[in-house]
Amino acid sequence: MDSKVKEIDVLIIGAGPSGAIASALLHKQGNLKILVVEKEHFPRFVIGESLLPVCMEILEEAGFLKAVKQYGFQFKNGAAFSFKDKYRYFNFCDKSAAGYGTTFQVQRADFDELLINEAIKQGILVLFGTSVQQIIFPENTEGKGIHDDYVQVQLSNKQTIKTKFILDASGYGRVIARLLNLETPSNLSTRKAYFTHIQDNITEPLYDRNKILITTHPENHEIWSWLIPFSNGRCSIGVVGSPQLLDKDNHTFTAEKILKKYIYHAPLLKRLLSRATWDMPVQNISAYSKNIKRFYGERFIILGNAGEFLDPVFSSGVAIAMYSARLASALTIKIFNNEIINLEKEYTKPLMLGINTFRAYIQSWYDGSLQRIIYTQNENYEVKRQMGSILAGYVWDINNPYITKSQSSLQILEQYCKK
């Protein structure tokens, strides 16, 4: 690393979507020295492959959308749900919120590498294979501004970086949350996921590759699976449930056998994937839901999964990560311009509006009430448009009553569906 950049303005930890977007937005909005450090080497495998339309505007603002559109990712226009012989779908173009109604389903190894490479083209310096070992914040900062002193960061390459501000986009690494003991238990139940990529070989003429397919297990509504098709004939597939449910009576099973067991229990998936080739190892992750005491400090803001991660059921992870990057980068510019800001009101509060909306829908999904709403025969067109907006990621739309009053609105809607 060039000695000229040992003193920088903003250090971004993590080169995933939130880190790439934050770096590009900062670069565009301000004359700042920016460094991104990433512990992995790209490309690398990660799940979270079904984007939401709300992401598109943010990709556009960062200058990434043209490259994303040209890459050839799988087009996505909605979400489908299946349970036994029931099939329901939401068309994201038919929604109440303004904004994009389509997006893409992406293999994250390719997508994440594409985004950070676009940031590099814009002039961002990125160090791969480099992790943060220690962070020392300045003491006695009362009366001092952002330009008066530095945070010292020790990197795994033995280098010490002096930075004025940090954006933590480290995802599951949760660097600052762990170093500063900010992690708190999630109020969501502990769950486990088994997942992999397969060559799907789907020949069903009516199968819609333009939608993620979420399938409720025929015997237990707390177990569900995802099927996310890609443009190259492959799919991401996974099953989610409590460890007690998924691993019950399966102690001698391999991870692949457990995943196949639950996938092939569902009639639609059994039919669709009858010719599938399972050619990659099955992985698993458990206790993935995380909370945090606070999203910011005097010299840092925490983005996306590095702060809170909820659940994969509604593909909220990347959407929250990108939205937080947009918020944080705009506020960082204000900080460097010596503007007076309130991070609780201007960052945490708006971010938590969306997070809490997703949280309410996730809880409603697992207790079965949202599933009863989705699979009901008693549909209301306007309600479906408002719910479609939420499933498309527009969880920051304060004009939508299913956002501002999520829990009470869902309870009323469930009663309506029972009529």
pLDDT bin (cut points 50, 70, 90) of residue 1 is low
Same domain, 53 and 174: yes
So what's the pLDDT on residue 327? 98
pLDDT bin (cut points 50, 70, 90) of residue 303 is very high
Q: Per DSSP, what are the bridge partners of residue 151?
A: 163
pTM, two decimals, is 0.94
- Residue 91 domain-assigned (yes or no): no
- Rg of the chain over CA atoms, in angstroms? 22
So what's the pLDDT on residue 419? 58
Provide the residue range defining the domain that includes 209: 192-286
CATH number of the domain at 60, please: 3.50.50.60
Residues near 75 by Cβ (< 8 Å), separated by ≥ 6? 102, 104, 105, 210, 231
What six digits make up the tokens of 359?
Answer: 């949280």
So what's the pLDDT on residue 141? 67
Same domain, 164 and 282: no
Q: Fill in the amino acid letter for 15.
A: A
So what's the pLDDT on residue 96? 87
Q: How far is CA 341 from CA 41, 223, 337, 363, 387, in A?
A: 36, 44, 11, 33, 33
So what's the pLDDT on residue 299? 94
**What is the distance between the alpha carbons of residues 326 and 301, in angstroms, rounded to a whole number?**
12
pLDDT at 3 over 70: no
> What is the mean predicted confidence (pLDDT) over 341-354?
95
- Residue 317 domain-assigned (yes or no): yes
Whether the bond between 43 and the residue before it is cis, its omega within 30 degrees of 0, is yes
Which strand (E) or helix (H) includes residue 213?
strand 211-216
So what's the pLDDT on residue 382? 83
Lowest-confidence segment of 175-189, 225-239, 344-358 by average pLDDT:
175-189
pLDDT at 306 over 90: no
CATH number of the domain at 220, please: 3.30.9.100
Whether the bond between 312 and the residue before it is cis, its omega within 30 degrees of 0, is no
Same domain, 212 and 135: no
Residues near 20 by Cβ (< 8 Å), separated by ≥ 6? 36, 62, 64, 112, 115, 116, 118, 119
Same domain, 377 and 295: no
**What SS3 class is residue 132?**
strand
So what's the pLDDT on residue 66? 98
- Residue 377 domain-assigned (yes or no): yes
pLDDT at 130 over 80: yes
Residues near 51 by Cβ (< 8 Å), separated by ≥ 6? 76, 103, 104, 105, 106, 315, 318, 319
**What is the distance between the alpha carbons of residues 388 and 27, in angstroms, rounded to a whole number?**
34
Of 329, 353, 377, the last residue of a domain is 353
Same domain, 142 and 273: no
Which strand (E) or helix (H) includes residue 238?
strand 234-241
**What SS3 class is residue 13?**
strand
- The model's pLDDT over 135-145, given as tens digits with 9 standing for 90+, comes to 999 887 666 78
> What is the mean predicted confidence (pLDDT) over 352-366?
92
**What is the distance between the alpha carbons of residues 74 and 212, in angstroms, rounded to a whole number?**
11
Same domain, 200 and 349: no
- Residue 358 domain-assigned (yes or no): no
Question: CB–CB of 22/167 below 8 Å?
Answer: yes
DSSP codes joined into one string, 298-344: TTEEE-GGGT-B--TTTTHHHHHHHHHHHHHHHHHHHHHTT----HI
Same domain, 119 and 131: yes
Same domain, 147 and 196: no
- Residue 81 domain-assigned (yes or no): no
- Residue 1 domain-assigned (yes or no): no
- Residue 87 domain-assigned (yes or no): no
Better-scored residue on pLDDT, 146 or 301: 301
Of 298, 324, 353, the last residue of a domain is 353
pLDDT at 4 over 60: no
Residue for token pair 């839901």:
289
**What is the distance between the alpha carbons of residues 66 and 70, in angstroms, rounded to a whole number?**
6
pLDDT at 323 over 80: yes
Better-scored residue on pLDDT, 258 or 401: 258
Q: Per DSSP, what are the bridge partners of residue 34?
A: 10
Q: Considering its fold, how many domains does the chain have in total?
A: 3
- Residue 401 domain-assigned (yes or no): yes
> What is the mean predicted confidence (pLDDT) over 161-176?
94
pLDDT bin (cut points 50, 70, 90) of residue 402 is confident
pLDDT at 172 over 50: yes
Residues near 90 by Cβ (< 8 Å), separated by ≥ 6? 78, 79, 80, 384, 387, 388, 391, 392
Same domain, 139 and 114: yes
Q: Fill in the amino acid letter for 262.
A: Y
Residue for token pair 């408002």:
386
Of 286, 320, 345, the last residue of a domain is 286
- The model's pLDDT over 25-36, given as tens digits with 9 standing for 90+, comes to 999 987 899 999
What six digits make up the tokens of 123?
Answer: 């002039």
Same domain, 102 and 153: yes
Residue in 22, 332, 319 with CA at minimum distance from that of residue 170: 22
Same domain, 40 and 101: yes
- The model's pLDDT over 213-237, given as tens digits with 9 standing for 90+, comes to 999 999 999 999 999 999 999 999 9
pLDDT at 412 over 90: no
Same domain, 30 and 135: yes
Q: Fill in the amino acid letter for 393.
A: G
| pLDDT above 90 coverage of the chain, percent | 74
So what's the pLDDT on residue 405? 72
pLDDT at 308 over 90: no
So what's the pLDDT on residue 416? 60
